[in-house]
Amino acid sequence: MKSVWIVLKEQFGNLGMIFRISRYDEHAEYQSHYLGLAWEILNPIIQVGVYYLVFGMGLRGNRSVNGVPFIAWMLIGMSAWLFMNTSMNRSSKSITGKLYVISKMQFPVSTLPSVTIVSNLTAYWAMLAVAVFSVLVSGVPITIYWLQFFYYFICMIAFTFAMAIFSATMTVLVRDYQFILQSILRVMLYLSGAIWNLTGSGLPPKLVKFLQLNPIYYVINGYRSAFLSDGLIWENKKATLLFWLITSIILVIGCHLHVKFRARFVDLA
């Protein structure tokens, strides 16, 4: 737990720097492109459009999900999925990709995964705005359920950060980890309920219950419960406790490994 406190203290103590570096990284990545930062928004929208054509129009025949148009149902889940997927993939390379910074100056290395997460928020907010607009156009009313979004947003950030600090450290220690993570996340797109409804998938009930233990599913399903007024947080206490247990375990292990080995990152990488 001491390692967790050290890492979290570094995050909150360097929030200003994290936001400044994230803005710099965003501009630096797209400065040579004509559309610039617009690609942060266009890329996920194009990706979601392809998924809608294949899974919504093609496989489902544009049928609704629990009375909600498929496009609105999918966009709500994809707004969370795309953020977590992109953040976890990019953060796994956040330390190895900035070794020149680590080796040349005193730098709180644990903030690098956070910089990546913050950098992805621009695309996230844009995607969420599109998702919410689609929900409203579909005729879903704004209810008190929508307040649950703030809780599930915290869940999303907490799990993403836990995975980010763990993955960034593991990539330094075991370079193959990055490719393993990418492969797992590709599979998670189909097993986390982002683009298809697990409860109506026809899979065996026991397998569905097992897949629903996934923390990513918890966040995606929570987003839909909030914006589609389809459930309250405390209705599934076991899922909530399990989510925070898994997130806490990943965070503790990730912080422990990070603090233990970060003095040797330059040598190990």
DSSP letter assigned to residue 68: B
Distance, in Å, from the CA atom of 87 to the CA atom of 5, rounded to the nearest integer, reads 22
118 band by pLDDT with thresholds 50, 70 and 90? very high
Per the model's pLDDT, the better-predicted residue between 265 and 261 turns out to be: 261
Could you tell me if 255 and 114 are in contact, meaning their C-beta atoms sit under 8 angstroms apart? no
Global pTM reads: 0.88
Please give the average per-residue pLDDT across 107-129, as a whole number. 89
Count Cα neighbours of 261 within 13 Å in the Cβ-side half-sphere: 21
Could you tell me if 77 and 225 are in contact, meaning their C-beta atoms sit under 8 angstroms apart? no
Percent of the chain clearing pLDDT 90 (strictly above): 38
Could you tell me if 13 and 265 are in contact, meaning their C-beta atoms sit under 8 angstroms apart? no
Query: Which residue in the block uniquely carries the two structure tokens 């148009």?
Result: 69
Short-list 255, 207, 218, CA closest to 240:
218
pLDDT at 30: 58
pLDDT at 242: 95
pLDDT one-digit tens code per residue, 3-13: 999 999 999 99
Domain housing 30: 2-268
Distance, in Å, from the CA atom of 266 to the CA atom of 269, rounded to the nearest integer, reads 5
pLDDT one-digit tens code per residue, 36-47: 556 667 676 777
Burial of 81-97, coded b for 16+ CB within 10 Å and e otherwise, reads bbbbbbbbbbbbbbbbb
Lowest mean pLDDT among 112-121, 131-140, 260-269: 260-269
Per-residue tokens: 242: 């399990």
Q: What is the domain count for the chain?
A: 1
Distance, in Å, from the CA atom of 67 to the CA atom of 164, rounded to the nearest integer, reads 36
On the 0-12 / 13-18 / 19+ scale of CB atoms within 10 A, 68 is: buried
